[in-house]
Amino acid sequence: MRRSAVSVTLAQARRVIEAGEAKAAEIGQPMNIAVADAGGNLVAHVRMDGAWIGSIDVSINKAYTSRAFDIATKDLAEHSQSGGQFFGIHVSNGGRVMVFAGGVPLRRDGVVVGAVGVSGGTGEQDQAVAEAAAAAFG
Amino acid sequence: MRRSAVSVTLAQARRVIEAGEAKAAEIGQPMNIAVADAGGNLVAHVRMDGAWIGSIDVSINKAYTSRAFDIATKDLAEHSQSGGQFFGIHVSNGGRVMVFAGGVPLRRDGVVVGAVGVSGGTGEQDQAVAEAAAAAFG
Amino acid sequence: MRRSAVSVTLAQARRVIEAGEAKAAEIGQPMNIAVADAGGNLVAHVRMDGAWIGSIDVSINKAYTSRAFDIATKDLAEHSQSGGQFFGIHVSNGGRVMVFAGGVPLRRDGVVVGAVGVSGGTGEQDQAVAEAAAAAFG
Amino acid sequence: MRRSAVSVTLAQARRVIEAGEAKAAEIGQPMNIAVADAGGNLVAHVRMDGAWIGSIDVSINKAYTSRAFDIATKDLAEHSQSGGQFFGIHVSNGGRVMVFAGGVPLRRDGVVVGAVGVSGGTGEQDQAVAEAAAAAFG
């Protein structure tokens, strides 16, 4: 048995980001968009002109989180509120775990091999852009 | 095309802080008052005599947060409680994101070019002082 | 009087990165390349396929450092060794100050308005790629 | 016996900073200037227009360091280089200890009751401004 190193290339990350930018432009909200690889490590990031500077870190860490737990951050959020089974997980990993919408896994043949993280608007907007971005992966 | 960014001079920051101090004196609550520029970086800070030392960092980071997300921290607070769309954002950016009242953007021609952060009293007091301070920017 | 700050657009950052990638390909060493704006905040980052994951943070922080002190990190290095006038500066700013080659300011009309940071090879290689990248800014 | 709370008022900090600004203007180098109280906690900070953003943190922590060890950071530097008796102290206190010139104690009746920290130029410039600033305390 082997631990396969299928991951995300820079070219693929750029296609994912490009699709995210198109969606962000469509909804008229500038975004930070980041792509992480199978190791949770950053492959590429862009901040669209006018996007929040506080969202740089958030986008990178939404991508990290989504790969770190192989889950959409939107779904992680459900269990991470006060009273939930994972409440408090947001302070783990040095504060890198983002428990709100905008992080979506990138899958190949059903296996998570990376993730995209989007931050710059409402939770709904971030999620819409992240899903459009992830759909371009393949 | 260029990304242009008018920011905040030290002289302007001092006028903002002076207005904040006057309001703080009026309500009888010593405050920490900080001003950040367009990049979220500190321009000036004062701690009034008797103000909390724990509020030094809070005031500086309220200013940072308000510029980082182009929003009053009071409004960010609404969405950052457990169950809200941004719950968990307070651990991002190395713990610099303050999700309670007292950070107010500084605008020029409708564009956020910096922010003021106030800490030292109740949320209402901090907010009142921050608004009085921001009103002196122009 | 106003503190004005022309900065770096995403389109400009991409041209800088593209030039850096071309140089990295020429010398056959995959690199991380990051661009920061006038506030020291990240505009864009890419990790070329095969580049070190430890260099993600280094490239981003070389860009930060070069803008934070308006200097090439290579030159900062000269004064930051044991016995130098700035020895110890590398622990300031939360460990974000990189005191070795690979960070180069981006200037407009002689004023630093951002920076590029490169990490992935020897100091000489990082510097060569950063200089080629910076030369594309304008 | 009492632990006396003689410290630095905001009015005194402002006089110290004003004297530092005058010296910085005289030598033509914009500076960050910070004043800490007897507890090592920030009383006031200014960043002069055009001063390095990386020096915000450095100036605040030079003031902290100077009070934390009741010593000029220039003198602490002598013993903190590789091979010296305090080498490594710069990573203590969460990276807040600055071991290069520009931090000077503020004394009353021979007792250190605070400190000023200056950053923005060469070690010599920072030290000259810090000494001019400290001389205004009394």
pLDDT, tens digit, 9 for 90 and up, residues B21-35 = 999 999 999 999 999
Tokens found for residue A40: 């949770």
**Cβ within 8 Å, pair A47-C43:** yes
Asked if C68 contacts D52 with a C-beta cutoff of 8 angstroms, the reply is: yes
Report the b/e string of C55-90 with b at 16+ CB within 10 A.
Answer: bbbbbbbbbbbbbbbbbbbbebbebbeeebbbbbbb
Residue A30 contacts B where some CB pair is shorter than 8 Å: no
How far B131 CA lies from chain C's nearest CA (Å)? 21
Question: In this predicted structure, what is the pLDDT of residue B138?
Answer: 79
Closest CA to B21 of B9, B35, B8: B35
- The answer on pLDDT for A2 being more than 50 is no
Decide: B98 and B92 in contact? Cβ < 8 Å. no
Residue A26: alpha-carbon gap to chain centroid: 19
- In the predicted model, residues of chain D with pLDDT beneath 70 are 1-5
Q: Please give, rounded to a whole number of angstroms, the shortest distance from the CA of B96 to a CA of chain A.
A: 9
Mean pLDDT of C99-105: 98
Structure tokens at C55: 């260099």
The reported pLDDT for the residue numbered A138 is 80
Six-digit token string for B48: 């009034």
Q: Do the beta carbons of residue D109 and residue D80 sit within 8 Å?
A: no
- Comparing alpha-carbon positions, the chain C residue that sits nearest to B95 is C94
The answer to whether D and A touch (≥3 CB pairs < 8 Å) is: no
Helix (H/G/I), strand (E/B), else coil: A46? strand
Closest residue by Cα to residue D54 from C65, C91, B65: C65
- To the nearest whole percent, how much of chain A has pLDDT over 90? 94
Residue of B nearest to C37 (CA): B39
End-to-end CA distance of chain C: 26
CA distance A42 to chain C (A): 7
Is there an interface between C and D (3+ Cβ pairs < 8 A)?
yes
Quickly tell me which residue has 């070069």 as its tokens: C66
Closest residue in A to B88 (Cα–Cα)? A99
**Which value does ipTM take for this structure?**
0.95
Residues 6+ apart with CB under 8 A from D33: D16, D17, D20, D21, D24, D45, D46, D48, D59, D116, D117, D118, D129, D133
Instruction: Look at A55-64, B32-41, D1-10 and tell me which has the smallest mean pLDDT.
Output: D1-10
Query: Which subunits count as partners of chain C given 3+ CB pairs below 8 Å?
Result: A, B, D
**D62 touches D69 (CB < 8 A):** no
Other Cβ atoms less than 10 A from the Cβ of C30: the count is 17
Q: Model pTM?
A: 0.96
